[in-house]
Every structure is written in C-alpha cells, then in structure tokens.
Amino acid sequence: MAPNNQKSYFVYTFICSLTIVLRFVLLAPTVFYSGFAINHHRVVSDNILLHNGTYSPAIVTGEQLADKWGGFILLWNTLIWIPTIMLPPPLQLPIAVGDTFLTVHLSRATAYQSEYSPKELKACRDMSSFHNQRPLGTNESFFAAAARLNATVTTPTKMCQTFVREWQYGVTLSFFYALTSLLGIVAFIGCIRIVRQRILEVYTAAKWTIVGTWFCAVYLIYFFYMTPVYLFRRCLPMKAKAPVRTARRCAVKTVVRAEQKTEFALKELKTGVFNNKNTIGRYKGAQGEFTPLAQFLGVYDILMMVIPYLHYVDAVNLASVSKSVRNSVLPSDDLYRRLALFKTLTCSEAHRVPCWVCLSQTCTDCYELASVTPTTAIHHLENCVPYCMTCYYQHVALKPPPPMYRFGSNVCKCAPIPVPSNFYKILIPMRTPSRAARVPRTRDRPVCRACSILTSEEMALRKNESGKIMLKKGQRGDGQKWGTCAKEGCGKHLDAGPRFWVCTGPSCRRECTSNLHQAWGVENKGAEEAV
C-alpha cells in the first residue's frame, strides 16, 4: 500500500475509533432514556383515562415509539460495540446503516414528544401551565392526571420533569447517534477507495486458486478413471482388442441406425403433411403465347440437331425463355427422358464433370472454378470411403498404430472442428489450445454458371446441407451410391449390415466414427439402399 494510502487509511481508522468511544459514552444515557420510556408507556397504557382520547393522541403514539425504539437502540448499542472494535472500516457499512435506521425512528419518537412535553425543567414549576393544558371537559391536566394515577410519582411537577428529561435525552441521543452514523459512512466511503485495489488483488489470487483447484480436481478424477482403461487398451495385443473393438462399433452403429431411420421417417412425414396435394406439378399450366422460336424448336428432329451444339446448362436455360419454348423443349409428358438425352448429347463426354454444388452436368468448357472452404460434412463426403467387414477387421481393427502414435487415438480426427464453446473453455481450460478449430484449406471447385453467382459461403452452406443427406444415404460426392468395398484389391459387394467408413488421408487410414455417415446398409430386391 502506498504511503499516502496508509496515511488516509489511518485517518479513517481513527474516525471509526471515535464511533467506538461515542457508543461507550452513549450507553448510560440510552439506559436512562429507555427507563423513562418504559415507565411512561406503562403509565399511559395502564390507565384508560390517559389513552382513551381525553388527552392528545400524540402522547400515546410518542410513548409507544419511545418504549419500542429505546429498547432496540439499547440492545443494538450493547451488541454491536464489540463488532465495531473488531471489524475494519470498509466492513462497517452495515453497522452505519443500522445506526441510521434507528436514529430515524428515535427522532420520530422525539418529534411526537415535542407536541406535549415542555422543553425545560423550570416550566414544570409554573402551576399555571398545568391549568392551561387542561382539555375541554376536564378539571386537571395530563401531568396532574398521570401523577394522580401513578403509584411512584405523586406530584404533577415531578411527573412533568420526568417527561422533560425523556425528551431531552431523546434529542441528545438522536444527535449523537446521527453523528455516529455519519462518521461510519464517511469512513466507509473513504476506505473503500483504498481497499478496492487490495480487493482486486485478493480477487485475482482467489480466482486463480479456484481455477487451479478445479483443474486439479478434474484431471485427478480423469486420471483415476481413465488410467485402468487406457492401460487395458494399450497393453493388450491387437488380436485381443480387435474383436472387442469391432463388436463395440457394431453396437454403436445399431443405435445410430435407429436414430437415422427415425430421422428419415420424420422427414417423410413432414413432407407429406406440409405438401399441398393440389399443387400443380412441374411444367403443368398455361401453354403461353406461341412464338416462332417455339415453333422452330417444336420440331423434334430440329431440336436434336441443335442440342449437340449446346452445353447442358444452356439447354436447360433455353427451356426457361418462355412458356411456349418450355413446352417445345421440355414438355411435361417427356421431361425426364429428354433431360437424360440432353446429358448424353451435350458437353464433351471425355471432359464431363458434375457441378460441385448442384451436381448438374458441366464440362471443362462451361464450368467455372470457385474457391470454397469445406465444412465437416463436405470433408467426410470427399475423404471417407466404406470398407466391408473383412477389410475393416484386417486392415483397420487389427492394424497396429504407427510407433509415433503408439499412445494416440485409433480413430480419425482429420475432420474440421468448430471453435470450442465458452462452457468447454470453463470446464477444461487447459485443453482449450488442443481444441483449436481445424479449418482445411480452401480448394477450387468446378461449379456451373447457375451456381457461380453464389458466394463461397452460400456454396458451402448448400453443399453442407445436401452433403449431410448424401452421407446418411451412403452416397458419394457425385450422388452415386457406394455399392462395393473401396479397399484397393477388394471390390466386394457391400452386403446388408453395418457400414465402416475409413479416412483416405495419406497419413491417417483410420476409422471415421462420425454419426454423419450411414450407419447401416440394407439390401432391397438386390440393390443396396440407405437406411
């Protein structure tokens, strides 16, 4: 702490010491005040003449408040004196608030007493004042009646003097308790600026202590839980671990199969519910105004002579010129046959490639290159291939890891991962650097002219959504289904059962356990279909 701060802190500590002295000095006056208030309230409450409305209602209210809050102040001053000595100034704000609260109520009781009590003792010796205080219909004043009804004080003068002393004690105590409260608040405000810096230092130390304790607890639990499992997995030979791993993966894929099956069923139900049955089908509607171009292309032989000079995207765009041209080029009753024929006749067969976004046919003369960063689904679609059960068991499950990855994971972790959430950072702060986002490099993708108007983000989003569906249906990136094992030299037909997906990365060749992949394949009438 700086020297100036030390000096200021000493001054505010001295102010708090003054409040301690004031509390000790005010203890005896508070006892006297409380005694007067108890006796007067007992006299007023025990005699119906004094509180039935004959005399001023302020007498009943004032003595009731004085009796109640006089006892509270006496108890408060007695109990809080020792904590005031022990607590430092910055922690005495609740005490100052309590002093303020009690001072307000004590001042309120004293204000009521000012309405009926004289302010000086000599006023009680003037007997004419008692006669002037008599209410209408009575023959004695309040002090005379109280003296007559009281068993200990027998004269109006003595009764009046006790009320005067009570009022004087009330005024004095209200002033000094207000002073005590003010000193406490001033000391708190002054010290809080000095202590704030110390609090920040303590908070920082406590914060890192808690974080370190949490880190140790988490990793201690992780160590005791994972060490036996880790040793069991790493020390046993591959011949003992491979069957267990294969059985475990089959069980997991059985569960994922049920989830994927439910997901597809819900999508079909949603499509059936929300699709309007009265919707007009594709290319059904008005014929449009007949034009010379529509008449020219309406001749089938002429159309077949024109199409080979066009690209596939040009042929599709030609059908969008007008309604009449559409009915000539792609009539609704011959739509799919002509589209298949257009794919055969357009674009050079040796240079055909599907559009990366919409899978439409393009070629090297009509596609455009777009730089797109792949997402997680796109990465799996382009890098993961299926293995049959035999190849998976022999080349993946039984394959020992490289020496440099002896104690690493036996599953693929090549797919890009998002930035860790704030909750994960708080839960395991020390692992956050290892969970940094893995974003692959951008690559040039062939896209058709219709998709080239999209931004890179829009292309990636569309491909990501369609890629998820293709992955769960067991399809390739070009939309074709995987029918055979992708292991070199195998080519075995993929039967019904669990699908094992392997990463084709040059330094990986490990199993991909992502739930985006098709978990189970089924044969339906000799053809494989996705679950």
Number of Cβ atoms within 10 Å of the Cβ of 94: 13
> Residue 92 — very low, low, confident or very high, per pLDDT cuts 50/70/90?
confident
Output the CA torsion sign for 513, 262, 494, 505.
Answer: negative
The pair of structure tokens assigned to 10 is 């000493």
pLDDT at residue 355 greater than cutoff 80? yes
pLDDT at 85: 79
> Residue 435 — very low, low, confident or very high, per pLDDT cuts 50/70/90?
very low
Q: How far is CA 278 from the centre of its chain?
A: 45
pLDDT at residue 53 greater than cutoff 50? yes
3-class secondary structure, 353 = strand
Locus of tokens 């690559």: 443
The pair of structure tokens assigned to 32 is 């006297």
The pair of structure tokens assigned to 337 is 């046959």
Q: Would you say residue 44 lies in a domain?
A: yes
CB 181 within 8 Å of CB 16? no
Choose one of 213, 229, 259: the last residue of a domain.
213
Q: How far is CA 363 from the centre of its chain?
A: 49
User: Do 517 and 385 sit in the same domain of this protein?
Assistant: yes
3-class secondary structure, 208 = helix
d(CA 166, CA 160): 10
User: Do 326 and 374 sit in the same domain of this protein?
Assistant: no
Q: Would you say residue 390 lies in a domain?
A: yes
CB 11 within 8 Å of CB 19? no
Q: What percent of the chain has pLDDT over 90?
A: 2
pLDDT at 526: 43
User: Do 62 and 206 sit in the same domain of this protein?
Assistant: yes
d(CA 10, CA 459): 70
The pair of structure tokens assigned to 191 is 């010290």
Q: What is the DSSP letter of 481?
A: B
User: Do 377 and 488 sit in the same domain of this protein?
Assistant: yes
Q: Average pLDDT, stretch 262-287?
A: 66
Q: What separation in angstroms does the CA of 511 have from each of 395, 400, 493?
A: 10, 13, 19
> Residue 530 — very low, low, confident or very high, per pLDDT cuts 50/70/90?
very low
Of 55-69, 190-204, 261-275, 277-291, the poorest mean pLDDT is in 277-291
Q: Write out the H or E segment, with its range, that includes residue 317.
A: helix 312-318
> Residue 403 — very low, low, confident or very high, per pLDDT cuts 50/70/90?
low
Q: Would you say residue 428 lies in a domain?
A: yes
User: Do 140 and 249 sit in the same domain of this protein?
Assistant: no
Number of domains in the chain: 3
- The residue range of the domain holding 18 is 3-213
Q: What separation in angstroms does the CA of 473 have from each of 332, 463, 498, 523?
A: 29, 15, 13, 13
pLDDT at 233: 66
> Residue 527 — very low, low, confident or very high, per pLDDT cuts 50/70/90?
very low
pLDDT at residue 363 greater than cutoff 80? yes
pLDDT at residue 433 greater than cutoff 60? no
The pair of structure tokens assigned to 201 is 């230092």
d(CA 281, CA 332): 9
CB 139 within 8 Å of CB 91? no
d(CA 393, CA 509): 13
d(CA 435, CA 465): 25
> Residue 280 — very low, low, confident or very high, per pLDDT cuts 50/70/90?
very low
Provide the greatest CA pair distance for the chain.
138
Higher-pLDDT residue of 252 and 51 is 252
CB 443 within 8 Å of CB 372? yes
Q: Would you say residue 232 lies in a domain?
A: no
Task: Quick: pLDDT tens for 160-179.
Answer: 888 888 888 999 999 998 98
Q: What is the 3-state secondary structure (H, E, C) of 484-530?
A: ECCCCCCCCECCCEECEEEECCCCCCCECCCCCCCCEEEEECCEEEE
d(CA 498, CA 251): 9
Contacts 24+ apart (CB under 8 A), 467-473: 467/375, 467/377, 467/378, 467/380, 467/381, 468/377, 468/516, 470/381, 471/377, 471/380, 471/381, 471/516, 471/517, 471/518, 472/260, 472/263, 472/264, 472/516, 472/517, 472/518, 472/530, 473/518, 473/530
pLDDT at 127: 60
pLDDT at residue 31 greater than cutoff 80? yes
Q: Average pLDDT, stretch 123-147?
A: 68
User: Do 417 and 338 sit in the same domain of this protein?
Assistant: no
Q: What percent of the chain has pLDDT over 70?
A: 82
Q: Average pLDDT, stretch 481-504?
A: 87
pLDDT at 531: 40
Q: What is the mean pLDDT of the chain?
A: 79
* pTM, entire model: 0.52
Q: Would you say residue 396 lies in a domain?
A: yes
Of 246-250, 399-403, 423-427, the poorest mean pLDDT is in 423-427
Q: Average pLDDT, stretch 3-26?
A: 74
User: Do 422 and 463 sit in the same domain of this protein?
Assistant: yes
Range list of H helices, 420-476: 422-427, 456-472
pLDDT at 87: 77
Q: Average pLDDT, stretch 43-60?
A: 77
User: Do 402 and 322 sit in the same domain of this protein?
Assistant: no
Q: Would you say residue 352 lies in a domain?
A: no
User: Do 249 and 198 sit in the same domain of this protein?
Assistant: no
User: Do 264 and 300 sit in the same domain of this protein?
Assistant: no
Higher-pLDDT residue of 502 and 57 is 502
User: Do 9 and 122 sit in the same domain of this protein?
Assistant: yes
pLDDT at residue 283 greater than cutoff 50? yes
Q: What is the DSSP letter of 150?
A: -
pLDDT at 529: 42
User: Do 310 and 441 sit in the same domain of this protein?
Assistant: no
d(CA 159, CA 145): 10
